[in-house]
Amino acid sequence: MVFETKKDVLDWYERQERTLTPKYVSAIDWAGVRSHSLDEKLVPVLFYMRDVETLTDMYYRELRRTPTGKDPHISKFMERWGVEELTHGELLNRFLNELGYESDEKWQDQVKRAVSREYHANSYMITTLTNLVGKRFTATHMTFGAIHEMSTLQAYRRLSKIARHPVLTYLLDGIIREESAHSKFYWSVARLELGRSRIARRLSRSIIEHFWAPVGQGSIPKERTDYTIATLFGDAAGIDVVDKLVTQRIRRLPGFTDLTKINETAKRIAAAAMQPGIA
């Protein structure tokens, strides 16, 4: 389906029902979590994903201060998007609890408080700059969002496949369907915004080349991002997923046909993780 306007994209999104409805969530077999084994190496990955989902709230609040967040169609999408990401974080936290990893009642505040002052200073600067550039920056925000959502979606698919844990699979299936709708929204709006203006294309491409980093990096210590990427995408099959299901899709956006940044980043992180002495 090719959308002509942001309104079309939003209308499509609003026709999609939530997957993680109370009914879907109530069918999660929490009591069965410990009846199946889960490779311990995946626990830090689950914590990482839980934290990234939780920090969406912070990112959402930052974005609302920019022209992108004030766009009526995008802001309407973001209201629901923010709620869905929060649910993902909460469900992953519950899964970890059931697995035997307790978390404090105020774990969400702790995750937010752990974000460095450097990150906040940086994001303040970026938001201010964004306001100077104005609406033309929306294409950049949407392209960033598309890459983040697509890589998150593929990360969950890989996690589900590697873990082979029935309760996690059911939970992740629900999350994956919602991430898939997020990806389509961001990608479709990015396509429209990039297609409209050469300046937007150039700005977007240049910012992705210079500043793009895997989702979570910057607000969460880099070692945790690298560990997650190396664990989920560190072999030939993982790199192939990044190429086919993230890079190739982003390359279909105006101005991005020869993008190599995402593949290179994934390969570099995977190679560094294979060096002796770095676990």
Of 27-66, which residues contact Fe ion (CB under 5 A)? Answer: 53
The answer to the question of residue 184 lying near Fe ion (CB under 5 A) is no
Residue 53 vs 193, nearer CB to Fe ion:
53
Say how many residues touch Fe ion, by CB under 5 A: 6
Minimal distance in Å, beta carbon 40 to Fe ion? Answer: 23
Minimal distance in Å, beta carbon 56 to Fe ion? Answer: 7
Residue 136 vs 187, nearer CB to Fe ion:
187
The answer to the question of residue 88 lying near Fe ion (CB under 5 A) is yes
Residue 143 vs 255, nearer CB to Fe ion:
143
Nearest Cα neighbor of 191 from 250, 148, 135, 263 is 250
Nearest Cα neighbor of 20 from 75, 79, 82, 91 is 91
What gap in Å lies between CA 216 and CA 55, rounded to an integer? 8
Residue 182 vs 191, nearer CB to Fe ion:
182
By CB under 5 A, which span of 3-11, 178-186, 216-224, 261-269 interacts with Fe ion?
178-186
Which of 50, 141, 165, 182 contacts Fe ion by CB under 5 A?
Answer: 182
Which of 51, 71, 85, 226 contacts Fe ion by CB under 5 A?
Answer: 85
Nearest Cα neighbor of 202 from 124, 163, 255, 138 is 255
By CB under 5 A, which span of 18-26, 87-95, 132-140, 197-205 interacts with Fe ion?
87-95
- CA dihedral (215, 187, 131, 209) positive or negative: positive
By CB under 5 A, which span of 20-28, 126-134, 142-150, 243-251 interacts with Fe ion?
142-150
The answer to the question of residue 179 lying near Fe ion (CB under 5 A) is yes
By CB under 5 A, which span of 114-122, 172-180, 206-214, 248-256 interacts with Fe ion?
172-180
What gap in Å lies between CA 129 and CA 197, rounded to an integer? 19
Residue 168 vs 270, nearer CB to Fe ion:
168
Q: What tokens appear for 244 in the block?
A: 């086919």
Q: Where would I find the H helices in the chain?
A: 6-15, 22-26, 43-63, 67-70, 72-99, 107-113, 117-133, 138-163, 166-196, 198-211, 222-233, 236-241, 248-250, 261-274
Whether 97 contacts 90, CB under 8 Å: no
The answer to the question of residue 158 lying near Fe ion (CB under 5 A) is no
Residue 143 vs 201, nearer CB to Fe ion:
143
Residue 182 vs 201, nearer CB to Fe ion:
182
CA dihedral 77, 193, 207, 199 (to 10 degrees): -150
Query: Which residue ranges make up the site for Fe ion (CB under 5 A)?
Result: 53, 85, 88, 149, 179, 182
